[in-house]
Amino acid sequence: MSFSVAEIRKDFPIFERTIRDGKRLVYLDSGATSQKPWVVINAESDFYSKHNAAVHRGAHQLAEEATDAYEGARAIVAKFLGAKDSEIIFTKNATESINAVAYAMGNAEPGNRFALTSADSIVVTEMEHHANLIPWQELAKRTGAKLKWFKVTQGSRLDLSNIDQVITADTKVVAITHQSNVLGTIVPLDAIVKRAHEVGAVVVLDACQSVPHMSVNVAELDIDFLAFSGHKAVGPTGVGVLWGKAELLEDLPPFLTGGSMVTAVTMESASGPLLHKNLKLAFPIWPKLLVWVLHSITFLILEWMQLPSTSVH
């Protein structure tokens, strides 16, 4: 199947307009946010006009349709990432996804596998976007943990020559980008993940740039958490995904509390809080979520099928 840029442009109505002096629009800022195809734009209007109802909040037909679509969207994302349905958490964006993990770790009590102290360290890289840097800086401040990082070479690659000195026995978290939003560099994850797991650290992957451009399978990557945003993957704004291994999500303490995350509640207390149960039911974003998942991901997969099988790092 041939790859036709002209045909793909027709899917995006914004490219029908002109800019200053009647010039054709050429958009080179997809690293910040992608443009939206007709299928996404029309689907949002269709959902609001035909199926709008509260997810998991009603027994009438519209509520059933909305709920089925919502949970179906979770299954689509899980398959897209090679994950289990129960491991998919819907958030507002990647920033919230990463903060959810960082804040939850900050709430971990002594004895919990995620509890950090001044004896621990957090590892990042010089390539990180602010969304995958500042949350870890703040976590280090709150817990006393030391922040360490990999440097970038003159050739815009990560310098892993001292990997054993950066990721050490005291490392609890390694937070890294999969593909740099500035340099385009694809990070060699194998060596980093292997070293992190050797010392018992968890790997948090910022996949905002990689998910829209390549196949990402969490099982094959052997990472522990992954975050990405819908608006960089031809979807609407206000939609994000946090994936985490099931056993890790169960141990991660909650940092947001409220409805749909407890088994019982009285005026004095509540029982059964689960972070991922709470975040999975982030109702304000669900209409956009359905649009993005049901149409944007399908669109991406169809476009990938037309791309050459090799990629340039």
Segment 29-43, tens digit of pLDDT: 998 999 999 988 888
Strand partners, 250: none
- Note whether 240 and 137 are same-domain residues: yes
- Whole-model pTM: value is 0.88
Bridge partners of 90? 241
256 belongs to a structural domain: yes
**Is there a domain that residue 45 lies in?**
no
Q: Contact at 8 Å (CB) between 279 and 99?
A: no
> Considering only 66-75, 192-201, 267-276, which range has the smallest mean pLDDT?
267-276
Identify the domain containing residue 235 by its residue range.
77-284
Mean pLDDT in residue range 164-189: 96
Rg (CA), the chain: 21
- Residue located via tokens 């995350």: 261
Q: How far is CA 114 from the centre of its chain?
A: 20
Q: What is the DSSP letter of 128?
A: -
What is the pLDDT, as a whole number, of residue 304? 53
- For residues 139-153, average pLDDT: 98
Model confidence band, residue 260 (pLDDT cutoffs 50, 70, 90): low
- Which pLDDT does position 284 carry in this prediction? 43
Q: Is the pLDDT of residue 142 over 60?
A: yes
Please state, in angstroms and rounded to a whole number, the distance separating the CA atoms of residues 65 and 296. 20
Identity of residue 126: E
Residues 162 and 35 occupy one common structural domain: no
| In-domain check, residue 66 | no
Q: What single string gives the DSSP state of each residue in 81-120?
A: HT--GGGEEEESSHHHHHHHHHHHHHTPPTTSTT---TT-
Sign of CA dihedral 192, 135, 178, 96: positive
